[in-house]
Structure 1
Amino acid sequence: MFVRKKAFTNKDGTTREYLQLVESYRVNGKSRQRVVANLGRLEDLQDGQLDRLIENLTRFSETQWVKMNLDETQASWSKQWGPALIFHNLWEEKLGLGPCVRRILNRTEKTSPFEEALFAMVLNRLCDPLSKLGLNERWLQGIYHPPLEKLQLHHFYLALDFVAEYKDEIESFLFDRVRNLFNCELDLVFWDTTSTYFEGSGPEELARYGYSKDKRPDRLPIMIGLLMTKEGIPVAHHIFPGNTGDVRTFKAAFSDLRRRFNVTRVIMVGDRGMVSKKVLQEISAAGLQYIVGVKMRRRPDIDRMLSWNAPYTRVKENLKVKEVWSNGISRYIFCFNPEGAERDRNARREMIIKLKKKLNSGNIKGLLGNKGYRQYLKASKNAVTIDHDAIRREARYDGKYMLKTNTDLPPDQVALAYKELWRVERAFRQLKSGLELRPIYHWTESRVRGHVMVCFLALVLESALIRYLKEKQSKAGYLQVMADLATLHAIQFSFNDKSYLFRTELNGDAYEAFRVLGLRPPLKAQILT
């Protein structure tokens, strides 16, 4: 039932308005309405009759009665609710991770609350990463999700062993689920690796001295590889001893993908300066493929490549590409961002203005030692002056970057694949910092592998929400949605020997998370059983 305002026109052209209580019903599948009661003329009701009527009606609704008598209620606690609501829907309904874990548990007859502990650890990675001890002693008490209330510290450690043991089975399930859920073409996935290190000895099976991408040769490293779809959704990960080379990790990942997922094509995507010429030769010799960023400056053939007589093809508003070959053998893709070119020009212009002021003032001490200034200066025995030829040479690079690949992908797909590298890199930054892979607090191989798997699952949930926001054309970004979701709290009140649950308002873009997942926010007030 609902209240309807009905207007009637008087003979003199004025209107009078009445309130009616109306009920909707269906007859032969068609919607109908009937007036249950005429409440009276609106202007008369507004003299106080309407307020008295509402107050009398609230006595027959316990939750509304509590709202009217908040001064007499007592709040028991206030806990964060928003992220748990959203990510549990992704965990349980959209991605089906909850049912997947429960099927494994039923088959193995394990009795501990592994699924709840696993979800708690993943949710903590997404919201406020802590050690397992900190999660149990502090964070969990501030989260409203009743299934987690029974958890104890040992449940988290046992869940790490469990998820490490069944990693491959869970990833295989996720692979099929992601492909069907987001209609992904998983004949092509991207691979990148990073390293982190242990504080202390670490497990002997993984902690091996090798090349440290963290520039910490004094620490025992561990290698981690991540496979992602071209849409930016993680589908699998691998852990290797710290002394494992990039090509070896790539071969192992490719072999595993063909075995588990029937994926026929994996491309290693790497950032500028992160992949050596020797590694690229080894990858090609092994029959594998890559897309990597390369440094343009100091290349002996850069003048010829920059003047390559071929037009740019527009891919997106801020991306144009063209294909360039070197010696008829090596394939390069030049990428041009007009917005980036404008930023580069403005930045250089500001630097030249500062440089001229310093030169005119005679304050040239330290100029040649400044890397930013030095590239635009030339020095003689008698003076330091601005090198205008260097400025013109540098202007040729504005908004441009160059990729090298041995794939046969069209230039636009090569460029777009490289642009997705930021997702992999951000994932690794989260793994090592925000998700607290470093320092690693676990000292057995099983616990380390379980911890990384928890971080991986958190990335899957985050990527899924980002994908839903994009598919539903939400204007809100993931970080803003998460910040606003964190303000959604559940508050327990006691009144007349009964407990009631209230939720706070949906601030900012919090509602967007519910909208894109097709969820209704909880009622503002409900009785706790």
Structure 2
Amino acid sequence: MFVREKTINGYTYLYLVKNVREGKRTRQQIIKNLGRKDAVLANGDLDRLLASIGRFSERAAILSRIEAGDTSGLRCRRIGPPLLFGRLWEETGCRAVIEQALAPRGFEFPVERAIFTAVLHRIMVSGSDRACEQWMDDYDIPGADDLSLHHFYRAMAWLGEALPEDRQAHATPFAPRTVKDEIEEALFDRGRDLFTDLSVVFMDTTSLSFTGAGGETLGRRGHSKDHRPDLNQMILAVVIDGDGRPICSEMAPGNTADVTVLLPIIDRLRHRFAIGRVCVVADRGMIAEATITALEERGLEYVLGVRERTDKRVRDHVLDDPTPFTPLLVERAQGETQLFAKEVRVDGRRYIVCRNEAEAEKQRRDRQAIIEGLEKQLAKGDKALVGNSAYRRYIRKPRRQGDDGPEEATEPVFEIDAGKLAEEARYDGVFVLRTNARISPLQAMLRYRDLLQVEAVFRTAKALMHTHPIYHSSDAAIRGHVFCSFLALVLRKDLQARCEAAGLKPEWGEVLRDLDRLQEVTWDTGPRTLILRTPVAGVTGALFQAARVALPPNVREPKA
């Protein structure tokens, strides 16, 4: 393929042509008329075409070298995650807030860059700071090239460092105020506007286990939510607003019960973020009678889930109340949901009994499938079925053959308990709320439903927060390590909000995979160094548009 000149009526024209073979002859075939030679040279079209072809030839040359096994002078690094999340790090205010907090200190290394690198590591793969030191070598993170493991340890310790005594106002009983608390408050202030509303907050907890002692005070034995009761652990609480945005995180020793966490954190929230009216929405595990009394004494509203099966007042009085249900139709993104609700007052307490017909039918079908399997096992006389928890809940206590007659036998007989089936059916699709808020039953249901939606955010948070293994041995470094995971959650939520605004709904695994595929190859030829970018793949282009991040050129030279 080449460029050919041809003169017609005194004017010279340029053509892009190629040779084609027809039988035993070869002829030239015109691919494109580039135009009059003087015009093409004047407007620079030919120069741009040559530059474009040159870029592809350079990329082809590099690929040819790689295929031939010659990687001398070539270096490849991933650029997608640092570019995208680096922009979010700037625009959420994380960088500015951390640098402001660092201003009075005199660290000899870029602490903010160490924190951003740790946060990026949590987003992409999670893990320990030791793993982060090795992981970062594959990524082009501006300002992070000279970081080493002891820099990450010092940065984590600074984030979790306790504040001076004169800045310890409103600390919780289980943790002092630390540097990371002031960063959370500054981030909230930067994002506050006239429409910022924290009148409704959601809180959930998880446990993080340690392979070692877990610091001076944090590592304790307690109820393990990750099924490792043999290890010391800590309790982590994350507070989220009604839109699912992370507000703050709180950390407590591993033997702290959930019911003792809620009130101190709510008290602290009101002072930290200047919240006036508060409606606490929480699930069953957070609530005890003393907690409810304390909320009422503080003048706080609440919408709380109730344990229908174990709360005697609910089981014996609320659920048996003859008040008819009121049908309610709730619109959701997936369509309409048919609900029924009624308000019941018992001993001066207000309950909202809710029934979801679709969920009730699903639970009935699931139970019927279990019973059919149980009947088949009983027909075989298989006593081992009592070890199956799904079966065991519907089996009557074994009796012995011959109990009703003169013939005695020692073989136990297992039967399906009809009474247990009827009792279980009583709860199909039913959930009960207790509230003191001056809102309608529908509003109470919607607020509690929002909690269920926010639990999806918590599942994401827990995935990011489980940064095993944690090798730090001090409380301060552990707090900083876990706080980096909280900042990762902040960036992920911000990206999700931008995607929703742009009409994007990418899978998170797809996001991470496609971002990692965006790379730059540096080719050092001796007299000249070129940097070539790989093509954009998958959702990367749409993500960069949503975050307003410009892609680097296909081919460029490094800045002097």
TM-score w.r.t. structure 1 length? 0.78
Aligned residues of 1:192 and 1:268 also touching (Cα < 8 A) = no
Distance change in 2, residues 1:146/1:421 (3 Å):
closer
Distance change in 2, residues 1:167/1:157 (3 Å):
same
* Contiguous gaps of at least 5 residues in structure 1: 1-36
Aligned to 2:273: 261
Distance change in 2, residues 1:339/1:463 (3 Å):
farther
Aligned residues of 1:59 and 1:65 also touching (Cα < 8 A) = no
Q: Distance in 2 between matches of 1:186 and 1:47?
A: 73
* Contiguous gaps of at least 5 residues in structure 2: 1-11, 21-26, 35-44, 162-178, 402-412
Distance change in 2, residues 1:59/1:344 (3 Å):
same
Q: Distance in 1 between matches of 2:359 and 2:525?
A: 60
CA RMSD of aligned residues (A): 3.9
Per mean C-alpha deviation after superposition, the further-off stretch among 323-332 and 296-305 is 296-305
Distance change in 2, residues 1:425/1:204 (3 Å):
same
**Alignment partner of 1:344 out of 352, 363, 366:** 363
Read off the aligned partner of 1:373 and give its amino acid letter.
Y
Q: Distance in 2 between matches of 1:248 and 1:73?
A: 64
Distance change in 2, residues 1:243/1:298 (3 Å):
closer
Aligned to 2:498: 468
Structure 1 residue 185: Cα displacement: 1.9
Structure 1 residue 393: Cα displacement: 4.7
**Alignment partner of 2:141 out of 119, 126, 145:** 145
Matches within 5 A, 1:113-192: 113-136=110-133, 138-165=134-161, 166-180=179-193, 184-192=196-204
Distance change in 2, residues 1:488/1:346 (3 Å):
farther
- The structure with the largest alpha-carbon Rg is 2
Q: Distance in 1 between matches of 2:427 and 2:118?
A: 46
**Alignment partner of 1:305 out of 316, 319, 324:** 319
Residue 188 of structure 2 aligns to a residue whose secondary structure is helix
Distance change in 2, residues 1:390/1:55 (3 Å):
farther
**Alignment partner of 1:66 out of 58, 67, 75:** 58
Per mean C-alpha deviation after superposition, the further-off stretch among 305-314 and 233-242 is 305-314
Read off the aligned partner of 1:314 and give its amino acid letter.
L
Aligned to 2:349: 330
Read off the aligned partner of 1:363 and give its amino acid letter.
G
Structure 1 residue 398: Cα displacement: 3.4
Residue 466 of structure 1 aligns to a residue whose secondary structure is helix
Aligned to 1:418: 451
Deviations 1:162-214 (A, max 9, x none): 33343233212211233449x54223322333443444434334445666666
Q: Distance in 2 between matches of 1:119 and 1:393?
A: 54
Distance change in 2, residues 1:373/1:109 (3 Å):
closer
Aligned residues of 1:290 and 1:406 also touching (Cα < 8 A) = yes
Q: Distance in 2 between matches of 1:440 and 1:267?
A: 35
Distance change in 2, residues 1:39/1:421 (3 Å):
same
**Alignment partner of 1:511 out of 541, 551, 558:** 541
Residue 434 of structure 2 aligns to a residue whose secondary structure is strand
Structure 1 residue 229: Cα displacement: 0.8
Q: Distance in 2 between matches of 1:83 and 1:67?
A: 23
Structure 1 residue 125: Cα displacement: 0.7
Deviations 1:457-514 (A, max 9, x none): 1111112122222233323233432333233333333457433333333333333322
Per mean C-alpha deviation after superposition, the further-off stretch among 388-397 and 139-148 is 388-397
**Alignment partner of 2:240 out of 222, 228, 240:** 228
Aligned to 1:366: 384
Aligned residues of 2:304 and 2:435 also touching (Cα < 8 A) = yes
Aligned residues of 1:296 and 1:401 also touching (Cα < 8 A) = yes
Residue 319 of structure 2 aligns to a residue whose secondary structure is helix
Residue 503 of structure 2 aligns to a residue whose secondary structure is coil
Q: Distance in 2 between matches of 1:486 and 1:321?
A: 48
Aligned residues of 2:324 and 2:342 also touching (Cα < 8 A) = no
1:355 aligned to 2:374? yes
Per mean C-alpha deviation after superposition, the further-off stretch among 473-482 and 301-310 is 301-310
Aligned to 2:486: 456
**Alignment partner of 2:508 out of 470, 475, 478:** 478
Q: Distance in 2 between matches of 1:132 and 1:82?
A: 21
| Percent pairwise identity | 30
Matches within 5 A, 1:20-39: none
Structure 1 residue 227: Cα displacement: 1.6
Read off the aligned partner of 1:305 and give its amino acid letter.
L
Q: Distance in 2 between matches of 1:149 and 1:52?
A: 50
Aligned to 1:11: none
Residue 201 of structure 2 aligns to a residue whose secondary structure is strand
Aligned residues of 1:338 and 1:399 also touching (Cα < 8 A) = yes
Per mean C-alpha deviation after superposition, the further-off stretch among 47-56 and 504-513 is 47-56
**Alignment partner of 2:77 out of 76, 79, 97:** 79
Deviations 1:128-168 (A, max 9, x none): 123222211x2011112242222222221222233334323
Structure 1 residue 279: Cα displacement: 4.0
Read off the aligned partner of 1:260 and give its amino acid letter.
R
Distance change in 2, residues 1:299/1:444 (3 Å):
closer
